[in-house]
Amino acid sequence: MSFSALHKLIAYLLSGLGLVALCLGNELEQSSIALIFLAYAGSLFAEGKLLEHPAYAKSWTAAVVGLLLLQLARSAADTPTLAMAIEFAAFLQISRLWNRRTAVDYQQIAVLAFLHLIAATVLSTSLSYALIFIGFVIATPWMLALSHLRREIEGNYPTASPDDDRAQAAIRRVLASKRVVGASFLVSTALLAVPLFAMTLTIFVIVPRVGQGFLSLQRSEGQRSAGFGNQIELGGFGVIRDDPTVVLRVTPLRVPTHPSSVLALRMRGTSFDHYDGRRWTRSPSTMLPLPRSDRSQYPIRRPADPDKGDIALRILLDHLDEPVVFLPTGTVALSLAPRIVQGEQISRELIHGPGLDVRYADPDELGLMYTAFISRDPREADIAPSSREQRARYLEVPTGHERVAALAQRVTQGAKDADESAEKLVTYLHSARFGYSLEQPDLKGKLPLDVFLFDVRRGHCEYFASAMAIMLRTLGIPARNVTGFVGGRWNPYGGYYALRQGDAHSWVEAYVEGRGWVTYDPTPPGRADAGPRQNWWSNLQALIDAMRTRWMTSVVGYDLRTQAGLLRGIMRFFSSHGMGGGAPTNLHLGAADAWKRHGKTALLLLAALAVLAAFVWWWMRRRGAAQAARPLPPHVVMAVKLYRDLERVLSEYGYARPVARTPIEHVSALAAQGFVRVDEVREITEHYMEVRYGGRELEDSEIVQLKAALARVRAAKAEARTAKTGSTSGDRRAQ
Amino acid sequence: MSEAAKSSASELTAPAERAVPGAAAGRAAPTAKQTRALRREQPWRRHLRTTREGKAFVMVTLGVGVAAFNTGNNLLFLILGFMLSLIVLSGVMSETAIRGLRVSRHLPQRAFAGKVSLVEIVLRNKKPRSPSYSLEIEDIAEDAPTERRCYFLKVAPNAEQAAAYRRKPLRRGLMRFVGFRVATRYPFGIFEKWRMLQVPGELLVYPALLGERYTERDMSVSGVDSPSNKLGAGTEIAGLRGYEVGDDARAIHWKRTASLGKLVVMERQSDAAAQLSILLDNARPRDADATFAARLEYAISEAATLALGSLGRGLSVEVIARGGRSPLVLASSAADPILRYLALLEAVDAEQAAGFGTHARSARVARISVPRAAGGA
């Protein structure tokens, strides 16, 4: 591939990556994105004299100015400014791509692509950004090196005036050459991506995270997850049952050796107190700060107590449109690491409202990572009791539910307390009369619960939970509809349990005297069959999610605390090795344990690296030997033979070439000594050098010509001797 | 392709000559102090200069760094790490480009002050595997500014390329070369790294020659011309031979040509006694002013021009100055012995100056003295 073709290809690769990065944030309309990439593809064909026409460049400049004015006007007319700016930035790149003339244009393309990458840092933090970044790591050295070489070619080869046609032709010839850069250049420069990436990560890890705070532009599109806001329409959940998007990742701090592949983790999100017959809502109320016991601990029932065997679950929650803190069943306390702002630790603020709805402040819109402590005591699985006034709101029943009340009475006949009534209702709803279905029933103007309980008797969790909650309320038992997630599939790549959008669920909490709020799940077991299917695609999605999680936790969420922890780990490692055979300490034992766990892996890795290095060395040597042993082409053999014959003849004349003298130097020396056939010697020597080292081919006519020149040199023996003698005597006389 | 014949690359990647920045504006020659520093330069030492593009790159890197610290956006930290890594990588790759090189120079056989000469530079890449890209080589000489540099786009592994640059010595005498400044802006053009390669060399610069308008003066002629046994532009006929392209038409022997039916020319013997002694007065008077050096240079140029012209006309020439003389150069021989003598000739104080010594009685004599200062007595 010629230099210019390769340069063009790399320029399009880099600019394409930059444009994709700009489109990551979902700020642009689909039509704008389509237009951008249409113009991008069209610019591939902009070549030749069209680009040189003065009116062409002027019209593009006018277009850029025009678009700027248009965008300003649109921005003034309440169109989102960010989208306008992104469109304009993309157009600038498009304009450059349609005006690729010189090295300066290519440099501008590289600069704009890089600026797009920088701009995209405030548009998206997704895994796609990571992939684009890796693309930049590979393509940037190519692009910068080629742009630099092109600039040097354009700057150095017009030895006369750069406007001179001959100079331009010389530049075009060099740019069309396939010899300047080839496959070896591409491969070696691409291999540079490895150390480049390693250095980038090293610098990324070691640069102290002491800043942050003045201008946070971080933003991302939160996942829309129905059911956790202030209201839900009955029938909103069923449609997302098969959505495999992961929302929550739960990692037990002590992972068993063989974790079970599926868990039924119940993650409580939001409770609803008011039901109007068709939708659940949360009554407006003041959210209060959740009390803290120290900088990071938030007791829910009591402080976490390792002596009681509390189980710790580390939870990574994606940014949702509602900043809900999901609580596993039996949560007694939460732990959230403080935020680090300008080097200072500032505790996160958690708030809660009636019904234990916990929310967090989400200024970064990056989601939340927290630890939930779960009690092993079954009594602590219930939510703490609340006052009679607080419970009153959970007894409201909308009008028109008399049939529901009658059914509740009939089903719970003979029950002694609230718990027994609730259990009877659960048994009733789990019975064969009812079935799980994602299909929305046709209400025909009736109340949803009437249709569900008396007509279709099929529905999803929301219908079951709503029916049970209202039935309990008709019996005078405080009850509320609770939404959250139930599920958890083990992700072997990331080492966590993933809860997906499809695991969203709805259940009931009823107030039982003496216990508090007890969880009841009236949805029949058929729900489990309606979840996302497990196949190769879901495995691939698990892998992608593990990468995404690693990206979010290790790169996007990397902070001073992680940095300090890493530093402590490194210091522990070195200090434990430095202590040698001293008395065992906790520190030492920790390092020894780490070595026991990771030592073999590290050794295997080192051995693999050594084998790889040995293979590369062997391969390069073999390649070098093969190149050395490669036979010369016939025309090169002929040129070498002619030059060897010439050297023999010159040697006979007493003009042998010293070893330290190059062929060209020898020609100059012969000229200085007055050798008569120096022109013939020069002709043969120059052809020899061009063919042997310059890659030029020798034509048949040239071979005949060179043989004739060699014959003339042979025939000039007498003349040569005469000249040599004359020159020597002349010099002697001159002395 | 005479220079590029040594190259292992094709014509497409042949080296080029480029002007040294600032040369057109009268870039100063390296001072003696700078030259000494360059001579002492260790081979491992490297110099770094940030290019205009590099300054922009560094500014953007700083901007990204400020933004990263300000916002705490880890993606900006990632880009900051990437940009800093590019700077480090640039340093490593530029080092690879300027390592493992051998540079040699081929000086012209004759160089005259004030006249452009071609100096050939041969660059060899000794590295067995990696090519060197984008190299710029400047040949540094003492007290002589370099106006042109040689640019090599690519030198393949284990290969060499040659390039020539134009050098115009400003004055006669010995020009001492210090070595080569090997620079590269590869790979990204953000920094220029350079090193010195000590390759000393010497070039004897002959005096400047005067133009065609120069007229000989004060030449007294004595002695009798007599033929020598060497061919030349004399009066005696040495023999006849067949016509060759380039022979003077006036030398054609028409009678013999007519009888043989092919062109025959006469060869003549040179006149041995046609000898010119140029007496060059290089005495510096006690009251010599600041312009004396320039006037002496003019006189030396006169002597050189006269010597070359006379040798071309078939005279044997010698230059005699106070306290020394050049070798006698026979007619039609190379003038280098005289030019070498003149290149190194210096003024002597009038009080201590010896006489001109003896010269052949039969010779013609041309006396050249330092012209008087303008407006002087």
pLDDT 10s per residue in chain B (377 long)?
333 333 334 444 556 666 655 544 445 556 666 676 777 777 778 889 999 999 999 999 999 999 888 887 889 999 999 999 999 999 999 999 999 999 999 998 889 998 888 888 999 999 988 889 999 998 888 877 777 788 888 898 888 888 888 888 888 999 989 889 899 998 899 999 999 888 888 999 999 988 755 655 544 444 455 555 667 666 677 888 888 887 888 888 898 899 888 899 988 876 655 788 888 888 888 888 888 888 999 999 989 998 888 888 778 888 998 878 888 888 777 889 999 999 999 888 877 777 776 666 556 788 888 887 765 43
Averaged pLDDT, A323-349? 82
Q: How far apart are CA A122 and CA A135, in angstroms?
A: 19
Interface test with B, best of A117, A156, A692 (most B CBs within 10 A): A156
User: Which residues from chain A sit within 8 angstroms of residue B81, using beta carbons?
Assistant: 199-204, 207
ipTM comes to 0.74
Q: Report the mean per-residue pLDDT for chain A.
A: 81
Q: How far apart are CA A427 and CA A413, in angstroms?
A: 13
* pLDDT > 70? residue A456: yes
CB proximity under 8 Å: A 23-42 to B: none
Q: Residue A21: its pLDDT value, please?
A: 92
Rounded to the nearest angstrom, the minimum Cα separation between A11 and chain B is: 15
Which two three-digit tokens encode residue B61?
């890197």
Q: How far apart are CA B93 and CA B81, in angstroms?
A: 18
How many other CB atoms are there within 10 angstroms of residue B102's CB atom?
13
CA A147 to chain centroid: 27
In order, the DSSP letters of A578-611 are HTTTS---HHHHHHHHHHHHHHHHHHHHHHHHHH
Which two three-digit tokens encode residue A488?
């958890």
Q: Which residues lie across from A483 on neighbouring strands?
A: A270, A506
Which of A387-396, A592-601, B313-322 shows the lowest mean pLDDT across its residues? A592-601
* pLDDT > 80? residue A532: no
Beta-carbon separation of B333 and A204 below 8 A: no
CA torsion, points A418, A423, A429, A431, in degrees to nearest 10?
-150
Q: How far apart are CA A548 and CA A566, in angstroms?
A: 21
Q: Residue B333: its pLDDT value, please?
A: 79
Beta-carbon separation of A145 and B154 below 8 A: no
Confirm or reject contact between A177 and chain B (CB < 8 A): yes
Q: Residue A345: its pLDDT value, please?
A: 73
Side-chain-side CA neighbours of A324 within 13 Å: the count stands at: 28
Tell me the pTM.
0.66
The more confidently predicted of residues A124 and A533 is A124
Which two three-digit tokens encode residue B158?
């284990």
User: Which residues from chain B sit within 8 angstroms of residue A672, using beta carbons?
Assistant: 109
Q: Residue A7: its pLDDT value, please?
A: 92
Beta-carbon separation of A557 and B10 below 8 A: no
Rounded to the nearest angstrom, the minimum Cα separation between A98 and chain B is: 23
Beta-carbon separation of A686 and B5 below 8 A: yes
Interface test with A, best of B1, B55, B59, B77 (most A CBs within 10 A): B77
Interface test with A, best of B2, B20, B78, B165 (most A CBs within 10 A): B78
Rounded to the nearest angstrom, the minimum Cα separation between B369 and chain A is: 26
CB proximity under 8 Å: B 38-97 to A: 53, 60, 64, 68-82, 84-86, 88-89, 93
Residues A413/A420, Cβ–Cβ less than 8 Å? no
* pLDDT > 70? residue A407: yes
Averaged pLDDT, A388-413? 90
Q: How far apart are CA A46 and CA B368, in angstroms?
A: 71
- Sequence length of chain A is 735
Beta-carbon separation of A129 and B75 below 8 A: yes
Q: How far apart are CA A46 and CA A99, in angstroms?
A: 8
Q: How far apart are CA B116 and CA B129, in angstroms?
A: 38
Q: How far apart are CA B367 and CA B283, in angstroms?
A: 13
Closest to A528 (Cα-Cα) out of A632, A436, A656: A436
Which two three-digit tokens encode residue B30?
């390296």
CB proximity under 8 Å: A 105-124 to B: 107, 114, 117-118, 120-122
Phi, psi (degrees; rounded to nearest 5) at A698: -100, 125
A641-688 pLDDT tens trace: 888 889 888 888 878 887 767 788 888 888 888 788 888 888 898 888
Q: Residue A468: its pLDDT value, please?
A: 94
In order, the DSSP letters of A216-255 are -----PPBP-TTSSSEEETT-SGGGTT---EEEEEEESS-
Which two three-digit tokens encode residue A643?
């030059």
The more confidently predicted of residues B341 and A618 is B341
How many other CB atoms are there within 10 angstroms of residue A558's CB atom?
20
Beta-carbon separation of A668 and B76 below 8 A: no
Averaged pLDDT, A193-217? 75
Q: Residue A117: its pLDDT value, please?
A: 93
Beta-carbon separation of B12 and A173 below 8 A: yes
User: Which residues from chain A sit within 8 angstroms of residue B193, using beta carbons?
Assistant: none
User: Which residues from chain B sit within 8 angstroms of residue A189, using beta carbons?
Assistant: 187
Which of the 8 DSSP states describes residue A383?
B
The minimal CB distance from B79 to the residues A117, A685, A696 is found for A117
The minimal CB distance from A179 to the residues B9, B330, B337 is found for B9
Beta-carbon separation of B6 and A685 below 8 A: no
Beta-carbon separation of A129 and B162 below 8 A: no
Q: Report the mean per-residue pLDDT for chain B.
A: 80
Averaged pLDDT, A371-387? 84
Count chain A–chain B contacts defined by CB atoms under 8 A.
193
Which two three-digit tokens encode residue B19?
């002007």
The minimal CB distance from B70 to the residues A174, A214, A686 is found for A214
Rounded to the nearest angstrom, the minimum Cα separation between B189 and chain A is: 6
Rounded to the nearest angstrom, the minimum Cα separation between B109 and chain A is: 9
Confirm or reject contact between B102 and chain A (CB < 8 A): no
Q: Which residues lie across from B149 on neighbouring strands?
A: B18
Rounded to the nearest angstrom, the minimum Cα separation between A553 and chain B is: 11
User: Which residues from chain A sit within 8 angstroms of residue B311, using beta carbons?
Assistant: none
Q: How far apart are CA A598 and CA A104, in angstroms?
A: 51
A59-92 pLDDT tens trace: 999 999 999 999 888 878 777 888 888 999 999 9
B307-347 pLDDT tens trace: 888 888 778 888 998 878 888 888 777 889 999 999 999 88
Q: How far apart are CA A432 and CA B200, in angstroms?
A: 103
The minimal CB distance from A556 to the residues B18, B53, B75 is found for B75
Confirm or reject contact between A153 and chain B (CB < 8 A): yes
In order, the DSSP letters of A253-315 are SS--SS--SEEEEEEEEEEE-EE-SSEEEPPP---EEPP-SSSSEEESSS---GGGTPEEEEE
Residues B201/B121, Cβ–Cβ less than 8 Å? no
Q: How far apart are CA A245 and CA A222, in angstroms?
A: 12
Q: Which residue of B has its CA nearest to A115?
A: B60
Beta-carbon separation of A200 and B85 below 8 A: yes
Q: Which residue of B has its CA nearest to A134?
A: B82
Phi, psi (degrees; rounded to nearest 5) at A457: 50, 30
* pLDDT > 80? residue A166: no
* pLDDT > 60? residue A210: yes
Confirm or reject contact between B189 and chain A (CB < 8 A): yes
Rounded to the nearest angstrom, the minimum Cα separation between A292 and chain B is: 26
Beta-carbon separation of A159 and B129 below 8 A: no
Beta-carbon separation of B16 and A665 below 8 A: no
Q: E strands along chain B, which residues?
A: 16-19, 47-50, 101-106, 111-112, 117-125, 132-141, 148-155, 159-167, 173-184, 191-206, 219-220, 227-231, 237-242, 264-271, 275-281, 283-284, 316-321, 324-325, 348-349, 364-369
How many other CB atoms are there within 10 angstroms of residue A586's CB atom?
8
Instruction: Name the strand (E) or helix (H) holding B294.
Output: helix B292-312
CA torsion, points B256, B261, B263, B267, in degrees to nearest 10?
-30
Residues B70/A211, Cβ–Cβ less than 8 Å? yes
Confirm or reject contact between A145 and chain B (CB < 8 A): yes
Beta-carbon separation of A192 and B79 below 8 A: no
Closest to B164 (Cα-Cα) out of B5, B377, B348, B323: B5
Rounded to the nearest angstrom, the minimum Cα separation between A174 and chain B is: 5
User: Which residues from chain B sit within 8 angstroms of residue A341, using beta carbons?
Assistant: 72
A433-448 pLDDT tens trace: 888 887 777 777 788 8
Strands B16-19 and A504-512 turn out to be: unpaired
Q: How far apart are CA B86 and CA A143, in angstroms?
A: 12
Rounded to the nearest angstrom, the minimum Cα separation between B131 and chain A is: 9
Q: Which amino acid is at B321?
A: A
Q: Which residues lie across from B47 on neighbouring strands?
A: B194
